[in-house]
Structures are given as structure tokens and as C-alpha cells.
Amino acid sequence: MTTGIRLTRTLYEHMLGDLRRPHEYAYERVGFVSAKTANISSEHALVLLTEYRPVLDEQYIPDPYSGARINSAAIREAMQRALDTGGGVFHVHMHEGRGKPGFSTMDAEETPRIVAGLRTAAPEAAHGMLLLSGNHCTAWVWLPGAGEPGTPAKVSVVGYPMALLV
């Protein structure tokens, strides 16, 4: 079973632009992007990222030990979005630089808890976490009914020009 993720170049550049904005005290920014599935079969799943919403400035909690800590209101809003639409939601943040980024220990421990809430809100959708760098990305994807996350075989930016982030 392979999973692919696609997003338009417009969305990709919008996310990069937003996540690169400095914050008053958080070291990184976070957003949530909606996701839809175009196909899920026993061999291949295709997840489409559609609409990005940044976490608001006031929804960050000062925390010297993490790049960005967001409050419960930000998480509730993302869950509400999943509940309202029945669609998927991906947690997104960025590690500046080039090459394949890696989730930090804190990312790997804490973000899946947020995803668990999203999956409860919309159990029939694909959810996940996405980490961008300047030209690459890393993602974990929870398909409906899957116990463990999978990593996508391909993450494609669709537009002029096309790009493969994974």
C-alpha cells in the first residue's frame, strides 16, 4: 500500500509564506491544512491537501522548551473543522533549511495526540502531520481505520512547475 499526497503550488507557497513569518515569542509557526481523499484502495491512497489555516498569533503559548506550543483553542478549531466537514486535517509546521526534515522527539510524541483528536472528530478521513523544509517534507498519514501512521511514497506540488517534495 502506497500513499501519495498532492497539493497545488498556490497552497504550498501560501503555507511556506505563512510558516516563515516570525512570531513574537514562538520559534516556529503552526497551521492546519484540510485534506480530502481522491482514492483509497488496497494498493494506493491519494490524499489531496486543500485549504490552509494558520494558528492565530494569540493561540501560541510561551514555552522555551519547544519551537511552538499552541493552545487548546487552536486545536479545538481544527477539530471543529474536521467535525463540520467530515474531511481530514493535517498539522503543519516548518523547519527552515533544505533537504529532508525530521520530526523532533517532541513533534513525534505530541502531535500524534492532536491527530488522535482529529481522527475522533472525522474518523472516515485521512489525517496527519506534515513538516516542511525549504524544498522537501516529511509526513505521517493516518488513513481511516489504520492503527499506525504511514509515510507517503510521494508528496507532489501541482502547478508551474511541478515539484516532488518526497
Q: Please report the sign of the dihedral spanned by the C-alpha atoms of residue 105, residue 133, residue 119, residue 37.
A: negative
Question: How would DSSP label each residue in 59-82?
Answer: GEE--TTSS-EE-HHHHHHHHHHH
Q: What are the residues whose beta carbons fall under 8 Å from the beta carbon of 144, sequence distance 6 or more?
A: 40, 123, 124, 125, 126
Q: Which of 144, 146, 149, 150 binds other proteins (CB under 8 A)?
A: 144
Q: Which is nearer to other proteins, 56 or 153 (CB)?
A: 153
- Smallest CA-to-CA distance from 34 within 51, 15, 21, 20 is with 51
Q: Which is nearer to other proteins, 67 or 144 (CB)?
A: 144
Q: Which of 15, 125, 132, 139 binds other proteins (CB under 8 A)?
A: 125
Residue 119 Cβ vs other proteins, minimum distance, rounded to whole Å: 14
- For the segment 27-86, give every residue that binds other proteins (CB under 8 A): 36-41, 43-44, 46, 48, 50-51, 86
With binding defined as CB under 8 A, does residue 100 bind other proteins? no
Residue 124 DSSP class: T
Q: Which is nearer to other proteins, 68 or 165 (CB)?
A: 165
d(CA 51, CA 35): 8
Q: Which is nearer to other proteins, 54 or 87 (CB)?
A: 87
Is the Cβ–Cβ distance between 150 and 3 less than 8 Å? yes
With binding defined as CB under 8 A, does residue 156 bind other proteins? yes
Q: Which is nearer to other proteins, 70 or 132 (CB)?
A: 132
Q: Can you state the percent helix, strand and coil of the chain, rounding each to 5?
A: 25, 35, 35
Interacting residues toward other proteins by CB under 8 A = 4, 6-8, 10, 36-41, 43-44, 46, 48, 50-51, 86-87, 124-125, 144-145, 154, 156, 158-162, 164
